[in-house]
Chain A
């Protein structure tokens, strides 16, 4: 099959999934439990992205002190918790990563 056709079908499927529930919402009754459950999508999905980003280095679980991203991530989590400030959190995390790399190496 032609690559353009693959991209077209892949794109349509992707769009279909993004559109699916936005489109269907309101067309049928949504159970209360489902409504509640949806509030947990953001923390669940974002943590599922964040944890491996911090703890997996080149496809290996790394919980050592040599894992600079993990340490910088913890700094960012603390800053986010206490300041609730997006920009400050990112700056603190980046700065922590740079400093840690200077001292610990990659």
Chain B
């Protein structure tokens, strides 16, 4: 049990740098949702019912344009498609936990909880308490997202834009991905995905992100197939 608690707090701690960037996003979402005409209650509840930043931003936008319900629902589905990749990627590490845990962890599975968790799992493999790490990261993110949404709804965006706190999110992802680039296939996957993301940036509904990710995965896998997996850089 002690080890479980320690792993939980490791997850919380790993999430901290991301929270710096998440907090202003949550506040901006809160303000945006109100301006879109959502009630305070609905704006707040969307953060726990959908719990997915970019989908919430786009939903608020579509509501303000009075888009039909089906369009909004389909948009949420497409924008969140990438979560299936995360689900597939984490699945091998969570195969031994109970169904209850799988449900709970799936609910908490966002970009920001996925990133530190998968890197931790790839580093240390499966342990009996592994799921506590994702749970810790997910809980830290979930509570921050609810609180920052509330801040946005009730106080507005109180953080000056020129503090550039949102940049902390990109920096944290850099800090996570760069040390993981240990061989040529990894580097090729990262660079090809990045380039496709730039080229496909104007595609709607985050489809550019999915296209880019799939390209990177394909490039990495093909390169690994052609060379020995240990092929050092």
Q: Per DSSP, are chain A's interface residues mostly helix, strand or loop, or mixed?
A: helix
Within 8 A of B (CB), among A43-99: 43-56, 61, 69, 72-73, 76-77, 80-81, 84-87, 89-90, 93-94, 97-98
The answer to whether A25 and B175 touch across the interface, beta carbons within 8 angstroms, is no
- Chain A: how many interface residues by the 8 Å CB criterion? 66
The answer for the CA separation of A11 and B202 in the assembled complex, in Å, is: 26
The answer for the CA separation of A20 and B103 in the assembled complex, in Å, is: 10
Residue-wise interface mask of B (83-116) relative to A, using a CB-CB cutoff of 8 A (1 in contact, 0 not): 1111111111011000000110111010100010
- Choose the segment among B140-148, B149-157, B207-215 that binds chain A (4+ C-beta atoms closer than 8 Å): B207-215
The answer for the CA separation of A98 and B171 in the assembled complex, in Å, is: 14
The answer to whether A10 and B38 touch across the interface, beta carbons within 8 angstroms, is no
**Partner pick for A3 among B42, B91, B164, CB 8 A cutoff:** B42
- Closest Cβ–Cβ distance, residue A51 to chain B (whole Å): 4
Q: Per DSSP, are chain B's interface residues mostly helix, strand or loop, or mixed?
A: helix
The answer for the CA separation of A53 and B197 in the assembled complex, in Å, is: 10
Residues in chain A near residue B177, CB distance under 8 A: 42-43, 46-47, 50
**Partner pick for A38 among B55, B77, B89, B201, CB 8 A cutoff:** B89
On B, residues with C-beta under 8 Å from A are: 17, 20, 38, 42, 45-46, 49-52, 55, 59, 63, 69, 72-73, 76-77, 80-92, 94-95, 102-103, 105-107, 109, 111, 115, 118-119, 122, 162, 164, 167-181, 185-186, 189-198, 201, 208-209, 212-221, 224-225
